[in-house]
Every structure is written in structure tokens, then in C-alpha cells.
Amino acid sequence: MVGEGSSCVRRGPQRPEHHPPIVAQKKMTRALSLRSGRNAGKSTITVTAEDISTNSGFVELAFRAQKLDDKDVFSKSDPFLELYRVNEDQSRQLVHRTEVVKDDLSPKWEPFKVSLNSLCSGDETRPLKGLVWDHDARGKHDFIGEFTTTFAEMQRAFRGGQAQWECVNAKYKRRKRHYKNSGVVILAELKCSRVHSFLDYVMGGCQIHFTVAIDFTASNGDPRNSCSLHYIHPFQPNEYLQALLAVGEVCQDYDSDKRFSALGFGARIPPKFEVSHDFAINFHPEDDRCEGIQGVVQAYQRCLPRVQLYGPTNVAPVISKVARLAEAEERTSEASQYFILLILTDGVVTDMADTREAIVRASRLPMSVIIVGVGNADFTDMQVLDGDAGVLRSPRGEPALRDIVQFVPFRELKSASPAALAKCVLAQVPRQVVEYYSHRGLPPRGLGAHTQDSRSGPTP
């Protein structure tokens, strides 16, 4: 180790004044010290801070060159290209170094992909500098020439079919009277793409539709008994309500009408007391939605004394019911509605084959399934539905298009705060939303297509 130094990015309330924050200075140089406290000779370290614009875009670039100077005596040059971003203090930051093309004065380098933040700090007018070298195995590369441009200029030139720059060696230009250039560098390919975020879709008007499905099977115990998972305690919510409140409170912020579908499964329901696996807990089958999360809670509490807990634990019907709504959204070809199904259950599902089939079909739809296991049952088999261990397949062998299931055993989060519980349960949903719409090629509403035109560059 040469030495060490310390500072902070921003000043906190307990930060001493002799440690100025980096962002306050833009550029900070510190002497390096040994662990004994003495200075490490004259060694220093300089840290530079810059504000960058928020830009989630990427660009794919490919360069080639023609008629480069030959730097080798017995063969041709082995050129490679370095692309640098010029910082505010005029220092340079390497963005990309291409591979070496052996023995070729008109090389074609492989395409590369880089974020716009890395390329130009999100500022398309920021200067970029390209340096072309002749590779030397001993590390003493010979300088061929350089050019300067900006990303904005690259785009204009590429669209106009004139994306090429003279590669100039300043030393030769000063010394040689008739010197023109040391070759030409050509932008052969430019393709822009934006990676949209979950927030982009929400801000674009995508509504998150939340449905909860509650297990009313007999294995939960008699709701009148304090040992039952459905027991309504006068002062403390049961596990079903704790999970429902934690997740629902977050989801309702993304739903404009704050009305949530609430379903039950595994119970005998009035008036004929036949077993149902997708009944509305408000007993209005034509409109199973409740007003806000508190409306769901009230419907659940009123439902308990009216139904007979029974079985089995079949969840495929509720998955299929929500999937039918998601199918209608899929046909709109807009990023306008996404569906989240929260299943609260106390045991392993008994219709595993049908559930796998339903999930595989739903993986092609704007839909996510969250399963929260309440109680102390062995939920090992439930991990099969969560695609973390491998791609879920239907009984027929058809693979899920994407992982849409998150399984969470509630007992592992019993002592967590409601915010921590919601964060864990909903952790994968933003990625799943983006993954679905990206796969469909659908940007947030109000935005254009993901990708600009990409084609071959000009030939001089």
C-alpha cells in the first residue's frame, strides 16, 4: 500500500470542518498518509466531482478507419482506438479502448456499447477525443493521430452520411509542409437505446392494479379460536392482515382510483355453501373491488363469519382470473395497466400442476404474482414456483417467458417493520414491470420508440 486518505461526498451533521466535502470543491487533492499517521512522501491523490444529468440511455458505436499511417518497418501498423471524455477541468477519462487489429491500415473495430453517462456525462455537447495508436507488444505504442468531436455532432454527421473525421498528428502537422492527415476515422454504426425505469412507466401513466387473494381453507383453524391464523384480535392484526396492510399501503400509491379487487379461495360460500376458489369477499361478484386497503380489511372481517373454511388450497383459479384481465390490457399495445396478484396462504398449494400452467401462461402478460406464506407450514415446495432457482416450466415442459413469482415466508419477516416487509415482498415488481414492457418494445406512454435508426456508415 502506498498510502491512504479520507473525505466525504457531502457534509453530514457530524462531519468535522477539516474534512471538506468533495462536491463542495469539485476538485480535491489530498496528501496520502501512512497508517502510522506520517505522510507517504510527496504522494497525493486527486478526486474530481462532476454533476451529471440523469440519463438512462445507452449507445452502441462501431468505428473503422482508412489509410492510416504505417508505423512499422517490416509490416503494417497494428491499430487500436481509444475514445476519451473531456472533463470540465479539461482532464480526460477513458471511455473505451478497442481491440488491436493486426497488420491493417484500414481496420474495422468491433462494435461496443456504453451508457451516455459514461460517454459524455449525459451532456451531448461535451467534447470527446479519439486517439489512434499502433500497438507495440512492449507497451511503447506509437501515436498515429487524433480527432475531436461530440456525441451531438456524431448523431448529426451519422444521419447526414458524413460521419468521418481526419486523424491528425499535431507533430507531423507542425513539421511537414504538405501534411494533410494520418488517415480517416469513420463512424460505421450508431444506435441509441434508452433503458426505461419503473418510475418512467409510472410517470407515463401506467396504473398498477392490485388484487389480493386470501386463503380460507380449514387448515387455518377456526377463526373463533385464538390459535387460528384468521383470528381477529381486538388489538393486534393477524398475519394475513399484517401482510395485506404492508403491501397494500405501498401499492395504493400507484393506483389512481384506490380500488382493489379482493378474492377468496378454499371456502364454502353462501347461499348454497359450495366450495369456491375465486369468490369476491365482498360478495358482489359483478364488482369485487373494495375502496382502499381499509375497504379490503373490512370486507375480509365481514366475510369470515359468513363462510365455512374448507379446502383444498387451489390457487390456479385466482391466477387465471387476474390473467384474463391482463390479457385485455395486452391487446392495447400500450404501457397503461399492470396487474399485481398478492396471494396469502397458509400451506403448499394442492393444484401444483394447474398453478404451474397458469403461471407460465401469465408470464407473457403484464402481471406479477406475489405469494406470502403465513403460519409455520413447510413451504419448501413453494420455492418451485419462484423462478430464482431455475426457469419454471409447465407440466408440458413449456418454460415461463420471464420470472413473475416472488415467494416470501412471512415468519422470516414477522419482526420487521411494515416498510421492511413491503420492500421485501415488492422487491422484484419494478424489474418485472420494466422487463415485460421492454420485451414488448413498449416505451412509457408519451415517449417515442426505444431505438434510433442504425445503418452502415459512409464510404469516402
Q: What is the 3-state secondary structure (H, E, C) of the chain?
A: CCCECCCCCCCCCCCCCCCCCHHHHCEEEEEEECCCCCEEEEEEEEEECCCCCCCCEEEEEEEEEECCCCCCCCCCCCEEEEEEEECCCCCEEEEEECCCCCCCCCCECCCEEEEHHHHHCCCCCCEEEEEEEECCCCCCCEEEEEEEEEHHHHHHHHHCCCCEEECECHHHHHHCCCCCCCCEEEEEEEEEEECCCHHHHHHCCCEEEEEEEEECEHHHCCCCCCCCCCCCCCCCCCHHHHHHHHHHHHHHHHCCCCEEEEEEECEEECCCCEEECCEECCCCCCCCEEEHHHHHHHHHHHHHHHCEEECCCCCHHHHHHHHHHHHHHHCCCCCCEEEEEEEEECCCCCCHHHHHHHHHHHCCCCEEEEEEECCCCCCHHHHHCCHHHCCCECCCCCECCCCCEEEEEHHHHCCCCHHHHHHHHCCCHHHHHHHHHHHHCCCCCCCCCCECCCCCCCCC
| Number of neighbours of residue 448 by Cβ within 10 angstroms | 8
**Residue 457: phi, psi to the nearest 5?**
-80, 180
What is the pLDDT, as a whole number, of residue 450? 40
Asked whether the beta carbons of 22 and 8 are under 8 A apart, the reply is: yes
* Residues in the chain where the model's pLDDT stays below 70: 1-26, 49-56, 388-389, 447-460
Residues linked to residue 298 through DSSP beta bridges, in sequence order: none
Cell numbers of 103, please? 497488420
CA distance 421 to 438: 28
pLDDT the model gives residue 386 = 84
Q: Tell me the CB-side half-sphere exposure of residue 73, using CA atoms within 13 A.
A: 0
- Residue 427: predicted pLDDT: 87
pLDDT for position 21 = 53
Residue 275 buriedness (CB in 10 A; 0-12 / 13-18 / 19+): middle
Question: Side chain identity at 38, as an amino acid letter?
Answer: R
Angle 361-366-367 from CA coordinates, rounded to 5°? 70
8 Å CB contact between 105 and 78: no
